[in-house]
Amino acid sequence: MNTFVSVISSPLFLAPFLAWIIVQTIKSAIYTVKHHKFNFRVLLRTGGMPSSHSGGTVALATAVGRTEGWTSPLFIVTLVFTFIIMNDAAGVRRAAGQQARVLNKIIEDGRLDYERVKEFIGHTPVEVIVGAVLGVIVGILLT
């Protein structure tokens, strides 16, 4: 039990977790203002402004850099994975979301008999950058 408490109280755990909570709360607030209604599912949804992928991974990398050192192997590994995840969020996953929109249009037009697919998958570069900035702030504040 002591190990569990040590893990969840570590800044290396708390920084990405708190960044994710903050980003998802902001995302939910933006949705609520835009649509004039609260939707609990938005709190758990991927895609949209800002990116929780970049927020969480950048918060982790920042916390690792500040606690382990900016030249430590752990920071370098964390940074590399952060760039991979951010690139994936704005690249591959965004393209998949755009393809999903096209497929759903084809389904709505009756040209394809299939279930609608999830469209909110990836992020625009701005969404990724805003998430990253929030991640840096959280990582700095928690270390």
- List the pLDDT tens digit at each of the 143 positions of the chain: 688 888 888 999 999 999 999 999 999 999 999 999 998 888 888 778 899 999 999 999 999 999 999 999 999 999 999 999 999 888 877 777 788 888 888 888 888 787 887 776 778 889 999 999 999 999 999 99
Question: Where does residue 116 fall: left (phi above 0), alpha (psi -120 to 50 degrees), or beta otherwise?
Answer: beta
User: Which residues 6+ apart lie within 8 Å of 77 measured at CB?
Assistant: none
Residue 114 one-letter amino acid:
Y
Residue 64 one-letter amino acid:
V
Tokens (6 digits) for 114: 């299939």
- Domain spans in the chain, listed from the N-terminal domain onward: 2-84+126-141
Query: Residue 138: which of 77, 50, 76 has the closest Cα?
Result: 50
Residue 43 pLDDT? 84
pTM exceeds 0.85 = no
Residue 1 pLDDT? 63
